Amino acid sequence: MEITAQQLAIVVHGTVDGDGSTVISNYAKIEEAEPGCITFLANPKYTHYIYTTKASAVLVRKDFKPEHPIKATLIRVEDPYETIADLLNFVNSQRPQKKGIEQPCYISEGVAVPDDAYVGAFAYIGKDVKLGKNVKIYPNVYVGDDVVLGDDVILYPGVKIYHGCKIGNRCIVQGGATIGGDGFGFAPRPDGTYEKISQIGIVILEDDVEIGANTTIDRATMGATVVHRGVKLDNLIQVAHNVEIGENTVMAAQVGIAGSTKIGKNNMIGGQVGFAGHITVGDQNGIGAQSGVPNNVGSKQKLLGAPAINAREFARQQFYFKYLPEMFNDIKALKKQIEELKK
Amino acid sequence: MEITAQQLAIVVHGTVDGDGSTVISNYAKIEEAEPGCITFLANPKYTHYIYTTKASAVLVRKDFKPEHPIKATLIRVEDPYETIADLLNFVNSQRPQKKGIEQPCYISEGVAVPDDAYVGAFAYIGKDVKLGKNVKIYPNVYVGDDVVLGDDVILYPGVKIYHGCKIGNRCIVQGGATIGGDGFGFAPRPDGTYEKISQIGIVILEDDVEIGANTTIDRATMGATVVHRGVKLDNLIQVAHNVEIGENTVMAAQVGIAGSTKIGKNNMIGGQVGFAGHITVGDQNGIGAQSGVPNNVGSKQKLLGAPAINAREFARQQFYFKYLPEMFNDIKALKKQIEELKK
Amino acid sequence: MEITAQQLAIVVHGTVDGDGSTVISNYAKIEEAEPGCITFLANPKYTHYIYTTKASAVLVRKDFKPEHPIKATLIRVEDPYETIADLLNFVNSQRPQKKGIEQPCYISEGVAVPDDAYVGAFAYIGKDVKLGKNVKIYPNVYVGDDVVLGDDVILYPGVKIYHGCKIGNRCIVQGGATIGGDGFGFAPRPDGTYEKISQIGIVILEDDVEIGANTTIDRATMGATVVHRGVKLDNLIQVAHNVEIGENTVMAAQVGIAGSTKIGKNNMIGGQVGFAGHITVGDQNGIGAQSGVPNNVGSKQKLLGAPAINAREFARQQFYFKYLPEMFNDIKALKKQIEELKK
Active site (catalytic) residues of A: 241
Chains adjacent to B (≥3 CB pairs closer than 8 angstroms) = A, C
Residue C91 to residue B140, Cβ atoms within 8 A: no
pLDDT score recorded for residue B58:
96
Secondary structure (DSSP) of C176-242 = T-EEEEPP--EEEPTTS-EEEPP---EEEE-TT-EE-TT-EEEPPSSSEEEE-TT-EE-TT-EE-TT
Find, among A202, A259, A260, A267, the residue nearest to A231 by Cα.
A267
> Which of C25, C90, C272, C343 to probe by mutation at the B interface, max B CB count within 10 Å?
C272
By three-state DSSP, how is residue A215 classified?
Answer: coil
* pLDDT tens for each residue of C177-223: 999 999 999 988 889 999 999 999 999 999 999 999 999 999 999 88
> Which of A2, A119, A290, A320 to probe by mutation at the C interface, max C CB count within 10 Å?
A290
pLDDT score recorded for residue B103:
97
Residue A91 to residue C200, Cβ atoms within 8 A: yes
pLDDT score recorded for residue B225:
96
Chain C hits for B320, CB-CB cut-off 8 Å, are: 324-325, 327-328
Residues 6+ apart with CB under 8 A from C158: A140, A158, A176, B140, B142, B158, B160, B176, B178, C138, C140, C141, C175, C176
Residue C271 to residue B258, Cβ atoms within 8 A: yes
Cα atoms in the 13 Å half-sphere on the side-chain side of B108: 17
The mean of the pLDDT values for chain A is: 94
Of B28, B138, B232, which has the smallest distance from its Cβ to A194's Cβ?
B232
Is-contact A320 C320, C-beta < 8 A?
Answer: no
Chains adjacent to A (≥3 CB pairs closer than 8 angstroms) = B, C
Which of the four pLDDT bands, split at 50, 70 and 90, describes residue A1? low
Q: How far is A223 from chain C (nearest CA, A)?
A: 27
By three-state DSSP, how is residue B217 classified?
Answer: strand
Q: How far is A92 from chain C (nearest CA, A)?
A: 6
pLDDT score recorded for residue A31:
83
Q: How far is B151 from chain C (nearest CA, A)?
A: 24
> What percent of chain A shows pLDDT beyond 90?
83
| ipTM surpasses 0.85 | yes
**Positive or negative torsion for Cα B277, B278, B279, B284:** positive
Residue B235 CA to residue C128 CA, distance in Å, equals 36
Is-contact B32 B40, C-beta < 8 A?
Answer: no
Residue C176 to residue A157, Cβ atoms within 8 A: no
Question: What is the Rg, in whole angstroms, of the alpha carbon atoms belonging to chain B?
Answer: 27
pLDDT score recorded for residue C44:
87
Of B102, B156, B250, which has the smallest distance from its Cβ to A194's Cβ?
B250
Which residues 215-244 on chain B approach chain A with CB closer than 8 angstroms? 230, 232, 234-236
- Residue with more model confidence, B339 or A283: A283
The mean of the pLDDT values for chain C is: 94
pLDDT score recorded for residue C252:
98
Which residues 155-174 on chain C approach chain B with CB closer than 8 angstroms? 156-158, 172, 174
For chains A and C, count residue pairs whose Cβ atoms are closer than 8 Å.
189
* Residue A27 predicted with pLDDT over 80: no
Other CB atoms within 10 Å distance of the CB of residue B111:
15
User: Which amino acid, one-letter code, is at A226?
Assistant: V
Other CB atoms within 10 Å distance of the CB of residue C197:
22
Residue C220 CA to residue C84 CA, distance in Å, equals 40
pLDDT score recorded for residue C1:
61
Domains of chain B with bracketed CATH = 3-93 (3.40.1390.10), 100-314 (2.160.10.10)
Active site (catalytic) residues of B: 241
* pLDDT tens for each residue of A145-187: 999 999 999 999 999 999 999 999 999 999 999 999 999 999 8
Of B194, B196, B274, which has the smallest distance from its Cβ to C271's Cβ?
B274
Is residue B175 less than 8 Å (CB to CB) from chain C?
no
Chain C residue nearest residue A91, CA to CA: C200
Residue C128 burial class via C-beta count within 10 angstroms: exposed 0-12, middle 13-18, buried 19 and up: middle
Residues 6+ apart with CB under 8 A from C90: C11
Residue A322 to residue C313, Cβ atoms within 8 A: yes
Segment A271-290 shows an average pLDDT of 97
Chain B hits for A254, CB-CB cut-off 8 Å, are: 254
Chain B hits for A214, CB-CB cut-off 8 Å, are: 176, 214, 236
Is residue C260 less than 8 Å (CB to CB) from chain A?
yes
Which of the four pLDDT bands, split at 50, 70 and 90, describes residue A29? confident
Which residues 31-50 on chain A approach chain C with CB closer than 8 angstroms? 32
Q: Is C163 a catalytic residue?
A: no
Residue A106 to residue B88, Cβ atoms within 8 A: no
Residue A215 CA to residue A64 CA, distance in Å, equals 42
pLDDT score recorded for residue B90:
81
Residue A186 to residue B102, Cβ atoms within 8 A: no
Segment C110-118 shows an average pLDDT of 96
Residue B7 CA to residue B4 CA, distance in Å, equals 5
Alpha-carbon distances, residue C199 vs A301, B70, C24, C216 (angstroms): 31, 57, 53, 15
Chain B hits for A158, CB-CB cut-off 8 Å, are: 140, 158, 176
Is-contact C248 C266, C-beta < 8 A?
Answer: yes
pLDDT score recorded for residue B1:
62
For the ranges A223-227, B318-322, C25-29, C248-252, the maximum mean pLDDT occurs at C248-252
* pLDDT tens for each residue of B76-125: 999 998 888 888 888 888 888 899 999 999 999 999 999 999 999 999 99
pLDDT score recorded for residue B287:
98
Segment A72-83 shows an average pLDDT of 93
> What percent of chain A shows pLDDT beyond 70?
100
- Selecting among C68, C228, C241, C278, the annotated active-site residue is C241
pLDDT score recorded for residue B2:
80
Alpha-carbon distances, residue C272 vs B7, B256, C9, C243 (angstroms): 50, 8, 40, 17
pLDDT tens, per residue, chain B with 343 residues = 688 999 989 988 999 999 999 999 877 778 878 899 999 998 888 899 999 999 999 999 999 999 999 999 999 999 998 888 888 888 888 888 899 999 999 999 999 999 999 999 999 999 999 999 999 999 999 999 999 999 999 999 999 999 999 999 999 999 999 999 999 999 888 899 999 999 999 999 999 999 999 999 999 998 899 999 999 999 999 999 999 999 999 999 999 999 999 999 999 999 999 999 999 999 999 999 999 999 999 999 999 999 999 999 999 998 898 899 999 999 999 999 988 888 7
Residue positions counted in chain B: 343
